[in-house]
């Protein structure tokens, strides 16, 4: 891997992953919404050995900007070996239930905006004829649970989109990777009690890189979530609907 485009570069997982690429001297193009965070992350990654082809401040919810941004990224990087999409938010379920307009923002960020971005990326990668596209979805998308079904549904939509994209891009030699992390200790969980089985972003980043090198198409991070979610998916609805978690 020589070049990578990271979209949502200031996310906790993206930062930890970026450092692994930096140690390997990969050339990066970074996109994030907040200029100060982008500045802090890009300084950190270049000090750690990354070669920065460019950085760009952009709110990826502005889907009209996607095409131009990708144009600049490709111009800066040349062929892109890996795209990591880490655009997303957790939202506050109780607030969304009280004011559905807030749910719109969550659904738009995690599904609609990310989905449109992926369609743009698909066209580019198809034309390039190679590369990996890794996208952060979530184990929460496997079944809508009482405590976070709005977030979960947005990720379920994203995961479904990714499985279709995988089939579409495989013949072109492009590999689509659905990344399904459990809870990870990052800013996304700030101010909340940490859920059980929360892991550090460094661990998730290492497993993600190993999975990409292995050529996996679906990555449960850590892998035990695969078994946990298999059980949760298998629970009969009559029982599942009584659970509060």
Residues that bind other proteins (CB under 8 A): 12, 23, 36-37, 40-41, 43-44, 47-48, 185-187, 190-194
CB nearer other proteins, residue 191 or residue 215: 191
Q: Which is nearer to other proteins, 48 or 63 (CB)?
A: 48
Residue 97 neighbours by CB under 8 Å, 6+ apart: 103, 150
CA distance 222 to 236: 25
Q: CB of residue 242 vs other proteins: minimum separation in angstroms? A: 29
Which candidate, 167, 23, 169, places its Cα nearest to that of 83? 169
Question: Which CB atom, from 144 or from 195, has the smaller least distance to other proteins?
Answer: 195
Question: CB of 187: closest distance to other proteins in angstroms?
Answer: 4
Distance, CA of 22 to CA of 27 (rounded, Å)? 8
Nearer to other proteins, 37 or 166 (CB): 37
Q: What is the DSSP letter of 184?
A: B
Cβ closest to other proteins, residue 36 vs residue 210: 36
How does DSSP classify residue 143? S
Distance of closest approach, residue 40 Cβ to other proteins, in angstroms: 5
Residue 208: Cβ-neighbour burial (10 angstroms; 0-12, 13-18, 19+):
buried
Active site residue 149: no
10 Å Cβ neighbour count for 25? 11
Tell me the residue ranges of DSSP E strands in 19-126. 27-32, 51-57, 82-85
Instruction: For the CB of residue 23, give the shortest distance to other proteins in the complex, in Å.
Output: 8
Find the shortest distance in angstroms from Cβ 133 to other proteins. 27
Q: Exactly one of 29, 111, 149, 151 is catalytic; which is it?
A: 151
CA-to-CA separations, 234 to 104, 160, 230, 241, 243, in angstroms, rounded: 30, 19, 6, 13, 14
Rounded Cα gap, residues 136 and 17, in angstroms? 12
Which residue numbers are catalytic?
Answer: 151
């Amino acid at each position: 891997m020589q070049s990578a485009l990271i979209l949502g570069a200031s996310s906790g997982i993206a930062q930890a992953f970026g450092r692994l690429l930096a140690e390997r001297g990969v050339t990066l193009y970074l996109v994030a919404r907040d200029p100060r965070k982008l500045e802090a992350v890009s300084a950190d990654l270049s000090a750690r050995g990354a070669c920065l082809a460019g950085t760009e401040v952009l709110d990826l919810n502005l889907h009209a900007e996607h095409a131009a941004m990708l144009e600049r990224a490709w111009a800066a990087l040349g062929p892109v070996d890996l795209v990591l999409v880490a655009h997303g938010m957790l939202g506050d379920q109780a607030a969304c239930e009280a004011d559905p307009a807030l749910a719109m923002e969550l659904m738009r960020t995690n599904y609609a905006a990310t989905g449109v971005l992926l369609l743009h990326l698909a066209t580019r990668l198809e034309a390039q004829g190679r590369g990996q596209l890794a996208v952060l979805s979530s184990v929460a998308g496997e079944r809508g649970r009482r405590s976070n079904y709005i977030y979960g549904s947005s990720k379920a939509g994203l995961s479904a989109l990714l499985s279709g994209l995988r089939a579409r891009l495989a013949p072109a030699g492009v590999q689509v990777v659905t990344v399904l992390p459990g809870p990870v200790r990052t800013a996304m969980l700030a101010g909340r009690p940490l859920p059980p089985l929360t892991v550090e972003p460094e661990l998730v980043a290492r497993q993600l890189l190993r999975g990409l090198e292995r050529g996996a198409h679906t990555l449960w991070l850590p892998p035990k979530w695969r078994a946990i979610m298999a059980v949760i998916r298998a629970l009969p609805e009559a029982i599942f609907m009584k659970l509060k978690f």
